[in-house]
């Protein structure tokens, strides 16, 4: 795979498409976790492919191509969420378009959405993509100690939100 990454960075189109094939499921699932909806997640993959192709020459280290792609996806999703915040969605639409049925998952998801961008990003990378602290530090270009601090803060904030919504779940729009 790193051979393909190296070729893709050097401008090889076929290698680029093979990379996208290899990571499409990871990218799609990231999009689902953020955007909750199949159509939006597919559109997200399209946009991420576009952005990745335009910028791949700037990737310095072929080994981190996957985390680089995921980061583009997370950035894209954050932008989408910001835009959607201005649009009022009624619960019915969420239910029919949503993928999740389970109440506790919904609760967690909403708590996640309520977090700040950085906390959400760190939790995603750690628990969703099973990245090590060291890898996260590399992607975010900061010391490992800082990542640990941020991770702790993110978990703390998440706890607050889950506990806080314990009695009556409200939909954050």
Partner 1 sequence: MYEREEGRLIEYKKSIDNISVPETALNTAILTGFQKAKHEESKKRQSKKWMFMAAMIAVLLISFITSIRVSPVFASYIANIPGMEEIVELIRHDKGMVAAIESDYYEALGVSKQKNGMEVVIDGVIADEQGIVLFYTINTEEKKRSVTINQAEIRNQDGTELEIPTSSSYNPEINEAEFANSFHGLIEYFFQYPSNTTKFILHLEVGGETFELPFILTKDREENKTYVLNETVTVEGQEITFLDVTIAPLRVGIHVKMNPDNTKKILSFDELQLIDEQGEVWSRLENGVTSSSIADDEWMLYLQSNYFKDPEELNLVLGKIQTVDKEESMVIVDVENEVILNQPKRNLFTGVVREGDYLVFKYNEEFPYSFFSQSYDADGNILYSDSSFSTASEGRGTNEFGYHIEHILGQKSPISLIIDFFPEWIIGNEKIKIK
Is residue 97 a contact residue for partner 1 (CB under 8 A)? no
* CB of 135 vs partner 1, minimal distance in Å: 17
- Residue from 119, 117, 130 nearest 67 by CA: 130
Is residue 169 a contact residue for partner 1 (CB under 8 A)? no
Query: Exactly one of 1, 37, 40, 47 binds partner 1 (CB under 8 A); which one?
Result: 47
Identify which of residues 75 and 165 has a Cβ nearer to partner 1 in the complex.
75
Identify which of residues 29 and 138 has a Cβ nearer to partner 1 in the complex.
29
How many amino acids of this chain bind partner 1 (CB under 8 A)? 50
Under DSSP, the state recorded for 115 is S
Identify which of residues 107 and 144 has a Cβ nearer to partner 1 in the complex.
107
Is residue 17 a contact residue for partner 1 (CB under 8 A)? yes
Q: CB under 8 Å to 86, separation ≥6 — which residues?
A: none
Is residue 95 a contact residue for partner 1 (CB under 8 A)? no
Q: How far is CA 170 from the centre of its chain?
A: 23
Under DSSP, the state recorded for 64 is G
Which residue's structure tokens are 């020459």?
A: 57
Is residue 127 a contact residue for partner 1 (CB under 8 A)? yes
Is residue 64 a contact residue for partner 1 (CB under 8 A)? no
Q: CB under 8 Å to 31, separation ≥6 — which residues?
A: 40, 41, 44, 45, 73, 77
Q: CB under 8 Å to 131, separation ≥6 — which residues?
A: 67, 125, 139
* CB of 101 vs partner 1, minimal distance in Å: 10
Is residue 118 a contact residue for partner 1 (CB under 8 A)? no
Query: Exactly one of 1, 162, 165, 173 binds partner 1 (CB under 8 A); which one?
Result: 162
Query: Exactly one of 4, 35, 49, 147 binds partner 1 (CB under 8 A); which one?
Result: 49
Whether the Cβ atoms of residue 115 and residue 154 lie closer than 8 Å to each other = yes
Tokens for 91?
A: 């619960």
């Amino acid at each position: 795979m790193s051979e393909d990454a190296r070729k893709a960075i050097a401008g090889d189109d076929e290698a680029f498409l093979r990379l996208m094939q290899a990571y499409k499921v990871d990218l799609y699932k990231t999009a689902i976790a953020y955007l909750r909806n199949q159509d939006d997640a597919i559109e997200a993959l399209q946009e991420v492919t576009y952005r990745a192709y335009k910028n791949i020459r700037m990737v310095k280290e072929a080994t981190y191509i996957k985390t680089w792609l995921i980061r583009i996806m997370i950035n894209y999703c954050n932008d989408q969420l910001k835009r959607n915040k201005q649009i009022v969605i009624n619960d019915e639409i969420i239910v029919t378009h949503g993928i999740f049925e389970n109440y506790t998952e919904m609760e967690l998801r909403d708590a996640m959405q309520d977090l700040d961008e950085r906390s959400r990003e760190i939790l995603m990378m750690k628990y969703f993509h099973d990245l090590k602290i060291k890898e996260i530090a590399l992607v975010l270009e900061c010391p490992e100690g800082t990542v640990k601090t941020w991770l702790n803060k993110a978990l703390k904030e998440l706890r607050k939100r889950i506990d806080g919504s314990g009695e009556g779940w409200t939909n954050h729009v």
